[in-house]
Amino acid sequence: MHATYFGANGWLLELGDLRVLVDPWLTGPLQFPPGPWFFQGELAESRPAPADLDLLLLTQGLDDHCHPASLALLPMTLPVVASASGAAKARQLGFQHVSTLAPGQQHQLGELSITATAGAPVPQVENGYLLEHPCGSLYLEPHGYLPANLPGRRLDAVITPVVDLGLPLAGAFVRGTQVLPELLERFQPHTVLASTAGGDVRFSGLLTQVLWQKGSTATAATGLPEGCRLIDPVVGERYAIAAHHPGPQHSAPG
C-alpha cells in the first residue's frame, strides 16, 4: 500500500493494483462564498491529475474536497464513490458513474472494500471511509470525526488531521488534536498520515484573519505509542505503508 499527498485533503492511494484519488485540489484557486475577499486559497503550483485511476473517492461536496477545476481534469468516465453532497456535485460536473454511500454502507471495487462512516456535520453529515484490501487497511476522515459506533480493529494506517482549526464562537471545525488519541486506541495503526492542513498553499481573505489553529505535527508525534510513526507528508512524495497482516478482515488481538 502506498499514499501520495497532494496537499489540503488530497491523496492518491495505491492498494495493490488499484489507484484511488481522494478529494483532490490540483489546480486553480479555492474560494468560498461570498467571494475571494472573504476566503481564497492558492496553490504554489498546479499539478497534473494522476494517470490510470480506478476510482475517485469524495468525502464531502464542499469545494475543498470536491474542487470543480481539479475534477474537470479527470475523465468523466472515472467511477466515483461519494457522500450524498459529493455525489450530487460529481453528477452536476458530468461524471457518468457515481455511487452514493451513506454512513454504514459499503462499496466493492475488485478486492477493495470501502465502508462509509459518519464524518463531519458541515452542516449535513458527510463521510469518512474505512478501506480494506488484502495488501492493507486504513481509515480516513478529513475533519477529525470518529463515530462512536465504528468497531475497533487493527488497521495499518489512518489519514487524519493532527491539529485543530476553528473560528471564534463557532469553535473547532477540524478536530485533529481531539481525535488522534481515539484513533490510536481504536485502530492501533502502524502509520499516521497528517492531512487537511498541509501542503504549500497561500490563504487570504477576511476569514483567515480570525481562523485559529491549535497543536502541531511535532506535538502530535510526541504522543504516539512505540511502533507507530507519524508522517507529515511532503506534496508529491510517495510513502510506502507497512501492513500489520495480510487480508482485510482481522480484528485486533484481545
| Residues 6 or more apart whose Cβ sits within 8 Å of residue 142 | 9, 23, 59, 60, 65, 119, 120, 128, 160, 161, 174, 195, 196
Please report the pLDDT score of residue 47 as a whole number: 94
Please report the pLDDT score of residue 57 as a whole number: 98
Please report the pLDDT score of residue 245 as a whole number: 52
C-alpha cell at 140: 480516513
Please report the pLDDT score of residue 251 as a whole number: 37
Instruction: Name beta bridge partners: 174.
Output: 165
State how far the Cα of 106 lies from the Cα of 242, in Å rounded to an integer.
24
How far the first Cα of the chain sits from its last, in Å, is 26
User: Which H, E and C letters describe the chain, residue by residue?
Assistant: CEEEEEECCEEEEEECCEEEEECCCCCCCEECCCCCCCCEEEECCCCCCCCCCCEEEECCCCCCCCCHHHHCCCCCCCCEEECHHHHHHHHHHCCCCEEECCCCCEEEECCEEEEEEEEEECCCEEEEEEEEECCEEEEECCCCCCCCCCCCCCCCEEEECCCEEEECCCEEEEEHHHHHHHHHHHHCCCEEEECCCCCCEEEECHHHHCCEEECCHHHHHHCCCCCCEEECCCCCCEEECCCCCCCCCCCCCC
Question: Over the chain (254 residues), what is each successive 10-residue block's mean pLDDT?
Answer: 96 97 96 81 92 98 96 98 98 98 97 98 95 97 95 96 89 94 97 91 84 92 94 96 61 34
| Residues 6 or more apart whose Cβ sits within 8 Å of residue 191 | 156, 157, 158, 228, 229, 231, 239, 241, 242
- pTM, 2 dp: 0.93
Please report the pLDDT score of residue 211 as a whole number: 87
State how far the Cα of 83 lies from the Cα of 160, in Å rounded to an integer.
18
